[in-house]
């Protein structure tokens, strides 16, 4: 299975490289502007998404390149299933230069939500929507169990909101109307259009707090909440219009 997946992903290598190059060029272009003109935060992330979609490459390459460049932990590059895609996308020197120029892009003001969004999209293409979502939940469980001993930030439904939003975005971008979706993002991607407002979502829960309210990740109440998060994303105007 591992060899089969690697064989299927191998042709993406050059395409992903082109998108990573486009994002790196965008980062350097922004970094050289006068400080008062330099993009930061949500505007910077939007800029990267637009430039990625303007690269001329297929949606799959765009999603993988965004997951690679916006995730400081290099999760996909270190993954044995997808690592071959990223082995030659940039030299060590080019990577250092890109990272130095990337600035602080965010999604709804949070750099971690941007990572959740971009990485979950890449994982969805790599291993499927359900598995990508499950991995995100496993991370939240680990964060909840580690909170209080400096090993986690707690269980966050706001993080899950970013996960399912990134998955939906990736599926939309590679879907039946992929060319139209890419063009829409090239002209005016805005992260807030693709990530529902997380106001009211539980955040930073210890495992004890999570169990008190939700019992377990296998409980019907938690499954219903997962479905509610998905429904909120699918109800976004951008998906209704396209």
Q: What is the pLDDT of residue 116?
A: 98
Angle between helices 157-173 and 129-146 (to 10 degrees): 160
Kindly tell me if the per-residue pLDDT of 4 is higher than 90. Answer: no
| Greater pLDDT, 180 or 241 | 180
Query: What is residue 82's predicted lDDT score, i.e. its pLDDT?
Result: 79
- At 152 the pLDDT is 83
- 115 pLDDT higher than 50: yes
Regarding pTM above 0.85, the answer is yes
pLDDT band at residue 1 under the 50/70/90 scheme: very low
Least confident of 38-47, 113-122, 150-159, 164-173: 150-159
The set of residues, in sequence order, having a beta carbon less than 8 Å from that of 76 and lying 6+ positions away, is 64, 67, 68, 82, 83, 85, 86, 119, 122, 123, 126
User: What integer pLDDT is reported at residue 241 of this predicted model?
Assistant: 80
**pLDDT score for 11:** 64
Predicted pLDDT at 227: 96
Per the prediction, the chain carries an average pLDDT of 92
Average pLDDT over residues 227-238: 96
Question: Is residue 5 predicted with pLDDT exceeding 50?
Answer: no
Burial class (CB in 10 A: 0-12, 13-18, 19+), 41: middle
Domain around 220: 2-241
3-state secondary structure 56-77: CCCHHHHHHHHHHHCCCCCHHH
Confidence of residue 2 (pLDDT cuts 50, 70, 90): very low
Distance CA 184, CA 120 (A): 21
Q: Is the pLDDT reported for residue 3 higher than 50?
A: no
C-alpha separations of 241 from 54, 118, 229, 235, 238 in Å: 21, 22, 20, 10, 5
Mean pLDDT of 9-31: 89
pLDDT digits over 21-63, tens only? 999 999 999 999 999 999 999 999 999 999 999 999 999 999 9
pLDDT (0 to 100) of residue 10: 52
Domain count, the chain: 1
Average pLDDT over residues 130-158: 92
pLDDT more than 70, % of the chain: 95
User: Which two structure tokens, joined as six digits, stand for 14?
Assistant: 């050059």
Give the torsion through C-alpha atoms of 31, 97, 26, 123, to 10 deg. Answer: -130
Q: Which of 76-85, 91-100, 185-194, 212-221 has the lowest mean pLDDT?
A: 76-85
Residue 162: is its pLDDT beyond 80?
A: yes
**Model pLDDT, residue 81:** 76
């Amino acid at each position: 299975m591992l060899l089969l997946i690697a064989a299927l992903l191998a042709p993406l290598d050059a395409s992903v490289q082109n998108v990573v190059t486009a994002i790196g060029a965008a980062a350097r272009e922004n970094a050289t502007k006068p400080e008062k003109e330099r993009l930061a935060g949500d505007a910077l992330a939007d800029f990267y998404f637009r430039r990625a979609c303007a690269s001329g490459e297929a949606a799959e390459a765009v999603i993988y390149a965004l997951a690679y460049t916006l995730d400081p932990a290099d999760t996909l590059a270190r993954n044995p299933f997808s690592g071959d895609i990223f082995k030659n996308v940039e030299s060590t020197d080019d990577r250092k230069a890109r990272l130095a120029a990337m600035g602080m892009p965010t999604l709804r003001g949070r750099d971690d939500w941007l990572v959740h969004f971009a990485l979950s999209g890449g994982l969805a293409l790599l291993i499927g929507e359900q598995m990508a979502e499950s991995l995100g939940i496993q991370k939240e469980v680990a964060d909840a169990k580690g909170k209080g001993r400096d090993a986690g930030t707690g269980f966050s439904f706001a993080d899950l909101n970013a996960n399912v939003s990134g998955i939906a975005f990736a599926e939309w971008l590679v879907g039946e109307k992929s060319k139209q979706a890419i063009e829409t993002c090239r002209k005016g991607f805005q992260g807030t259009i693709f990530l529902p407002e997380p106001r009211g979502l539980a955040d930073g829960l210890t495992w004890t707090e999570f169990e008190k309210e939700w019992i377990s990740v296998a409980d019907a109440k938690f499954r219903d909440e997962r479905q509610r998060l998905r429904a909120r994303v699918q109800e976004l105007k951008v998906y209704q219009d396209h």
